[in-house]
Structure formats: structure tokens, C-alpha cells
Amino acid sequence: MNTAHEHTAVHTRSTDGVLVIEIRNPPVNAASAAVRQGLMAALQTLEADPQLQAAVLIGAGSTFVAGSDLREFGQPPQPPLLPAVIAAIEQCRKPVVAALHGAALGGGLELALGCDARIAQAGTLLGLPEVTLGIIPGAGGTQRLPRRTGLLQAIPLVCRGERFPAAQALKLRLVDAVVEKEADLCAQAVAHALSLQGRKQRIRDEAVPAEDAALIAAAEDAALRAGKHQPAVVAALSALHDSARLPFDEAQARERAAFETLRLSPQALALRHLFFAEREATRPPAQWAQSGQVTPHPLHTLAVIGAGTMGTGIAIAALGAGLNVVLLEHNAAALDAGRQRIASHYQGRVEAGKLSAAQAAAAQQRLTGTCDWPDIAQADVVIEAVFEDLAVKQEVFAHIDRHARPGAVLATNTSYLDVDAIARTTARPQDVLGLHFFSPAQVMKLLEVVQGADSATDVLATGLQLGRRLGKLPVLCRNAFGFIGNRIYNAYRRQCEFMLEDGAWPEDVDRALQDFGMAMGPFAVADLSGLDIAWRMRKAQAATRDPRERYVDILDRLCEQGRLGRKSGAGYYTYADGRQNPASDDTVRALIADASARRGITRQALPPETIQRRALLAMANEAALLLAQGVALRAGDIDVVLAHGYGFPRWEGGPVFWARQQDPATLRHELDALAHICGHGFVAGDLSILLQP
């Protein structure tokens, strides 16, 4: 006899003496208060009904439970809390089996680990990603996981927030069986629940396996280094350590206390801000919905013009997404070099065990190399990825216009050039947009989707869809010099150059900003990317530069001496065997001192905090200008771009989030002082635009 009962977010039905408890909280079945209340009610039904022998816990739709409801984390806790729900499962006299599909992440995996057994569909992703949000698992994840995996496996899984597939979970004894077909999942879970014959199998009753203490210590050290000693990583290691030395209830209480402390910490607030900003960034602008349904173009074949580092990176990303790729170069030698880069990439993936030889071969079979322009006519999207020179790109687009099929989306991969000036070389500017990939394109997640003056909405929607298809995080912005990222980075770099003239050495600036959390300092970054790239851009802008503006020519003079960065063995720093000398040498210091003297500046050492605040204020000011000018559509988009493309520390949230944490009056006072330092041409933004939620 089958019966069914409804709850707001949980539906139950009984079949063959098993209560099937289905979570219905779209889109990801987050373990919200309503879900937790429904689960408690279902468990009461299970206990009270003598005809029910066991239960199966399953998620409706495309996933099990992909985490807790993060919107609750900044609010007072709403009972029942997840630990109480899991405790009720463990205290229930009848076994509960979790049926996993889609994702079982964070609170979802903790919920599953509280059950008596777990059956997973092949391809299900599991993980405890809480540290990436500045917190730790707070419902027993650090206690139950190591009881099955051991601490050596648990440390990287928890401290890096790694996601892993069901096949790996089976090896780790986190799931009891894996089924191939979704249709079989519930039936297999019901059968497994009946096979338990009323026996409880609580992970909490197991012991953490004994392992080599030296290996555990090494794993902890590696986790701390990788996690930059962030509070969440430190707390996670402490909680994992407790699992092996304290009684379960005491260790879980300590875990929960650490979770409660961390969830309102500055790092957690910043990381949650980015979490929501990342999801908002991928959504189409509200005005698109007002204009009716916007349908992206179909995506089957991508043409990439240019087989250099960027072009082949884009091609690799597209092949990895299952697209057909036409790679075009102007001569056979350049094309062969590009093909070899792609082949080397796949060989490396196979040798690393990331792909099978068959998978690598299948991907490369979807690649067509050509030197003939008519071959791009089959492409749905054509991406130009040639040298960053306006005249060169305009010439390429004239060829694309002649040979791309009508209705194809035409994209320029440019870092800062005028998309409209490129579009005007075609007879169809409405089909043109910018797609600013970040290098290496097959690795970096950020993609700026640039709206030109004439870009059609369906073309932009196709750019966003392509970004998602490639596994990128696409951020829509309007056409302006440098778009979002390079525009802000340019203001940041310029301010750092001012600080060289004012009294800092390159290593002072780099060290202060790395201590703040930037992945690299600006002068080390410049050396890595090559000083001649910025030099070439500066020379192109020289004719339009206002001579009254403060301009630092230190980089120009370095390039004139052949110091182009790492590739030449010297730039702001010198390099031996690829290693950077930690301090600038006498040549660089003499150039900097001369620049200060020509400016009439008496050099004074700058404290690290001054360096950090001036750099951050310059970024925040440029962010305010971008928002006011409509280049950035949302304040959160700016933080997403800086965190994903420019090494801004995620735990600081981005320049907009940073500005929101400051005292507004202090910001205004400091901005006035910065304007005086920068001199003629500095445009002060209205920082209040950043402070609006």
C-alpha cells in the first residue's frame, strides 16, 4: 500500500514498507528552515508508523541537497538546526538511506553522512566546500568524514573544499553503492533500506582510523600553506584533529561553536558576498526580461582566428566543452605551431591522468586547422584572437565579415581596444561583441562579455551562454577602455607607480599588497607579463595624453634599457635561473630616484598600511566611476572580475566590498588627499554609489 503526504518543502510517500522522503526546494534543494522542519515531521511519521521499516531520503529535480541556505547565515538561527535533524536521523530506531544524485555538498553531504547508508548515482558530486566560504562544516562534517576516510584523506577534502565524484566517494567508503541510471536510484535505495532489516549503521559510532602522525602533520602543513593560514582552514584542522582525540559529542560541539564564530567573521561575510555576486553576474540584465524572451543562438561550431597562445587556449576550452573548432592561421607554420600546442596540452592531461587517451583523441578529432578563410563559414561563433593592435584587428574583421555566414556571432578577444571601432569595419555591427578571455584561456574562469553600441541582445545572450558552456564565469559590461578589469587594474597600477616616485621601492609596494592578500604585487606581475606590453600601449596613447597629467615614465626607461621583465632577465627586478631577486637593484633604484627628483619630490618611506590604502582607494574610486558611467552593470560584477581575473583576495570580497567596510567619512577624506597626490586629471568618483547594497 502506497500513501503520500505533503509538507511545504518535503513530500513523503510509502512504498513496500519504506517511507520515501523527498526534498522539494528548487533549484538546488538547499537545506533551508522549511526543509529542516519537513524532515523532522517526516522522521516523526517514520517512528510512529509500525508498518514502516525504514526510510529513503532523496532530492527532487536535478540534485540531492547542494548545500545549506546561505541567506540564513547572516540571520539569527531558525530551529530546527541541521545538527538537530541529523541527530534525529541517528536516534531514529529505523534506518534511513540517502539516495544521492546531482550534488551532495556542504550541509547536503553532512545530512547524507548522518544517514545509515548512501546510494549514489554515477556522476554525483560530493564535497564539503565550506572553507571556500570562510566557515567550516557545522553539522558534523569534520567528525563523520574522517571516521570513514581517515585524516590523511579528510584534511585536503575539508581544508580545500574539494568536490569529488561518486566513484571516488565509493573508494573512500562514503557511499555504499553507485548506480548508473537515475531511474534505478530510488528503487535501489529502497531495496538497500529493506536489506538492513532494521539495523542502524551510524558513522558516529565508528573510530577514526589510526594513521602515521608524521604524514598527518605534513598534510596539515600543506593545507595551511595552500589556505594561506586563513581562519577557516585553521579551525577546520582543529576540528578534524578533535575527531581523533575527543568523544564525538564533545568534538561536534566544538565544531559547531567554531562554525558559529566564523559565520559572522569578516572573511565569511566577504566570501558570501562574492558567492551571491558570482551568481548574479551570470544572470541577464533585468531590462532584457522587459523586452521579451531573448533566445541565444545555437552553439555547435566555433571558429578561432589566430593560433597563438590565446587562440589555442580558447580552442582547448571549446574542445573541452564538446564544441567543434575551426582554427585559422595565416600560414602553415603558425598553424602547425598552434596544433602542437593543443596536442601538447592533451598529452599532458593524459599523462596526469585527467583524461583517457581515447577522450583526448576524440577532442582533437573535433579540431579542424586551416589557412583558408572560407572554412569559417560553418561557424556559429567566430572569435578573433590576434595581436592586440587596432589596425590588425580591423583588418582581420574585414576578412571575417566577408566569409562568416549571415547570423554568425562575431567576437573580438581584446583586453582594452574599442569594440565599436572594430565592429565598424563590418557591415553587421549588430553581430559583433567583445569576449575578453584571460590567459591561460583554458584555465582562467573569468570572461568579460563586452556590449558594443550596436550589439544585439541575442548576440550578447549567446556570448553569455558560450561563456557558461566553456565553464567560464561570464560578466557582461559595456564598451569602454579596459572594460571593467583592466580599467581598474590600470588605476591601481598607476597609483602604485606614483608611490614609487613618492618614496617606495618596488619590493615595498609588492610586499605590502601581497601581505594584504593580492596573489602578486603589481611590479612582479608587470615583469611576469612583460613590460613591453604596457610600453606599447603607452606609446599608442602618447599623442592623446594630457601633458599636465602626472605620468610616471619609469617603465618606459626600463624598456629603453632592454629590461622587459622575466623574459629578458631583468625588469623591475633581476632574475637568475628564473628566480626573482627579492629586492630591486641599483639600476632600478637610480631610475626611480631620478624620476622623483625630476618631479621635485623629496622621497619618504611609505608604511605598508599607507601603500595598501592608497592602492585600494584608487581601485574603489575607479569602481565608482565605472558604475556611474554604466560600464559595469552591477557593483558586485566589479568584485567578481577583480577576484577571478586579477588576484584580489577572495576573503576581502573585492574593492567594492572593501569600500563598504570602511567609514564613509574617512573614505571621503582619504579620497580628497589622494586627488591632491595624483594632481591634474584625477577624477574623483562618488563613492556613495558603492555603498548602496
Strand 10-15: give its sheet, edge to edge.
Answer: 3-6, 10-15, 18-23, 54-59, 96-100, 117-121, 177-179
pLDDT digits (tens, 9 = 90+) for 518-570: 999 999 999 998 999 888 888 878 888 899 999 999 999 999 999 999 999 99
Of 585 and 578, which is predicted with more confidence? 585
Give the number of residues written for the chain. Answer: 693
pLDDT digits (tens, 9 = 90+) for 165-174: 999 999 999 9
Q: What is the pLDDT of residue 86?
A: 98
What is the mean pLDDT of the segment spanning 590-602?
96
The CATH 3.40.50.720 domain(s) of the chain lie at 292-482
Which residues are bridge partners to 475 per DSSP? 448
486-490, long-range: CB < 8 A, 24+ apart: 486/415, 486/416, 487/416, 487/622, 487/626, 487/631, 488/619, 488/622, 488/623, 488/626, 488/638, 488/641, 488/642, 488/646, 488/655, 489/646, 490/622
Q: What is the pLDDT of residue 552?
A: 95
pLDDT digits (tens, 9 = 90+) for 332-372: 999 999 999 999 999 999 999 999 999 999 999 999 999 99
For the segment(s) 292-482, the CATH number from 3.40.50.720, 3.80.30.20, 3.40.630.30, 1.20.1440.230 is: 3.40.50.720
- pLDDT band at residue 7 using 50, 70 and 90 as cut-offs: low
CB-based contacts of 22, cutoff 8 Å, min separation 6: 10, 11, 12, 13, 58, 59, 60
* Third-level CATH fold of 486-689: N-(1-d-carboxylethyl)-l-norvaline Dehydrogenase; domain 2 (1.10.1040)
Q: What is the pLDDT of residue 283?
A: 86
* Third-level CATH fold of 3-262: 2-enoyl-CoA Hydratase; Chain A, domain 1 (3.90.226)
Q: What is the pLDDT of residue 6?
A: 58
493 has pLDDT over 50? yes
Q: What is the pLDDT of residue 68?
A: 85
Judge whether 471 and 488 are in contact, CB under 8 Å.
Answer: no
Point out the residues that are catalytic: 110, 130
CA distance 458 to 466: 12
472 has pLDDT over 80? yes
Strand 163-165: give its sheet, edge to edge.
Answer: 103-105, 125-127, 163-165
380 has pLDDT over 60? yes
- pLDDT band at residue 5 using 50, 70 and 90 as cut-offs: low
2 has pLDDT over 50? no
Q: What is the pLDDT of residue 653?
A: 97
Helices (H), 418-552: 419-423, 457-469, 485-502, 506-516, 522-529, 531-541
Residue identified by cell 541582445 is: 457
- pLDDT band at residue 71 using 50, 70 and 90 as cut-offs: confident
The CATH 3.90.226.10 domain(s) of the chain lie at 3-262
The CATH 1.10.1040.50 domain(s) of the chain lie at 486-689
- pLDDT band at residue 692 using 50, 70 and 90 as cut-offs: confident
pLDDT digits (tens, 9 = 90+) for 8-23: 799 999 999 999 999 9
Strands (E) in 590-650, as ranges, are: none
Judge whether 500 and 611 are in contact, CB under 8 Å.
Answer: no
pLDDT digits (tens, 9 = 90+) for 173-213: 999 999 998 889 999 999 999 999 999 999 999 999 999 99
Q: What is the pLDDT of residue 56?
A: 98
What is the mean pLDDT of the segment spanning 321-325?
98
How many Å separate Cα 523 from the centre of its chain?
A: 24
* Backbone phi, psi, residue 258, to 5°: -65, -40
Residue identified by cell 587517451 is: 357
Q: What is the rounded average pLDDT for all residues in the chain?
A: 95
- pLDDT band at residue 1 using 50, 70 and 90 as cut-offs: very low
506 has pLDDT over 90? yes
pLDDT digits (tens, 9 = 90+) for 245-289: 999 999 999 999 999 999 999 999 999 999 999 999 988 887 786
